[in-house]
Structure 1
């Protein structure tokens, strides 16, 4: 199947990339990344030491359907005595190390491999090159670019389709032919389709190694710049790919030149990542606003609109607002509903003269509390009893829930108590953070990503 002439041609044609190349194909029990499992892997690795081939059936510990058996020719009997993925993970990791993964629809093969490694407690982070996209660029005159069409177009002969090594052989023949026929476009096309982009030559060896070590999953990237004692913090859905994409930014070389160290901290999902990030950064104080009830010089309780930063407090916030005007409007409505005097709380319009008559009293909507303002203890108790009803920006209710976030690959989960948009920490304090607030809102709009355990 593998033709030595094609392999040696590709060894030469990949040399300009100055990095190992691994042409890969995998077979699986189906197309669901989280439910299905690998049944076979084959690869050819090109590096400075030569050419290495590898082929292995894998016990998926999962039944193979009749449809998949007919498609691939791989049966339950064939894989019954094959090693599990965990048994070959060490050997496979060495073959994939530091390489660009080349595959037809590379995202499928890469994600299946990445998640298989993750189930073994290991990380896989690789650059990828999709030969579907490469074919589209090199041969735009053709409509179809699936592997069957390429096999037919280049008259490639295989003993069997949908077996891993056979498909790898088809790709080697296609790439060998294309490198010769499209020689003028070859290097430009390969560089263009490496995703998310080749490591630049100017990147230091130390940072290169640290970026390659980043897990390609949800987490927090800490970036220490020269002269700074605190790291910059980035919450990423795919830490490795997100950092690699920074190579394409303007002035990327200057930005990376100022970096001394990069570290990744894995997270179960967006809520966990946002909470982890809050330990390292401080949100802008004017991002949101809340209400605080404080005593004035006459020991009268008054409402103050204050900026809401990333902070820990003894209680969740009393209302969350995107703008002071929204806070003032909500506070007036809340006070009217519960019978609190707006004059007492000092929430009447600022343009109102100090000695002017109370507009609430003039409109005959006063609840009659003004003559009894000396009962400060009763008023303070009332404020505490109803303050939790102040609205939370963009939310329909002021939840008090236990919520859980689960990693769909490992099944690991974390649980938090959520009240009035704040999360309770292990020490009993309540964390409010703008990024956590947004992650909670986003996740609660997607029922599959977060589970409400109790109200």
Structure 2
């Protein structure tokens, strides 16, 4: 390590009453401090304030009697914090030890967010040819000296020995490169738990960013949850919107899905449920309107209807999806002008008796309003002009399941009812009844239904056979 600044390291191990950091408590802390001044070992039993389960006592050898007179963590919190300050936090399966200490420090009001290095991940990177990387395996593989297994200081000593051994077996440059990648991280928000992000899977799913009031600030879908979440904070430079989000986000939750379709549909459902402040694209698509062609006095005339209409999504003669009546009328006028259609016959302009419509006077109407074109011919041209905007009518008699691995995504009349894996779950979703037409679900499901390898199942038949 000559020629460079000596690193300040802390090799840490904990013993606890169980495996859940938010519910279980610490029973012993072991720390080995390593820096330019040398190596120092420290450990302390901790009174967890709760009973230690029998199987934990058998595993660690730490009994309820042993911790009865030990200090609670609050009494040693300052010393533990001082010993870990300004050091790289190194532990085996570091998420476990870091999570417990973060929970304990939160209770005592200490800030705790050190750079973290997990020796499980380090071993996997340096020794990729081996399948197992638990502490017993490392001790045997690298001939480490075992003192007290499953005691905090004894296990911390094994981690420290492993650190020394890798420096004997690998060039310094290799170790520095691997360690740098493992402990480096994008500019995550200060309140976001680094190891929580590292525990995120590399799978399809939906993630939710939360702020102070415990309401989602942003909801997104991902084909790779961890990579997508990290991408929010790794922009260089970050957009003003991402910077603002970064300043407010305090925690992240995620839901794994069966695949890409599940992530898309789940995102739509959650955004409409929570209406997060930083997600307007899906949130604002609740209400849409469309043109329905109706025959009146021999002419086809568009009538504007909304998703409240009982047959929205079923009627085969609906055209276009618009956010409001103003946008719908603007689009229809542009179509009429582009195709020489009559504004009066389309209901876009009031009749002027036997006079030609204004569009006809300026050469934008072929004159159906004054008999220069038959109504039949005008009707045919209306259909031709609108055909590319025709909404696909729901092609099934009822709800169907779009299968993705072991999951059925239940969709009925372009509305998403939910995901199910069993007949009982399908039955519960079907009991909810049909939701109203959803533009986002329509766009997602219509595209998915055209894929040749997608399995579509009639759920009314399937639930009988489960």
TM-score normalized by the length of structure 1: 0.49
Largest Rg, 1 or 2: 2
Normalised by the length of structure 2, the TM-score is 0.48
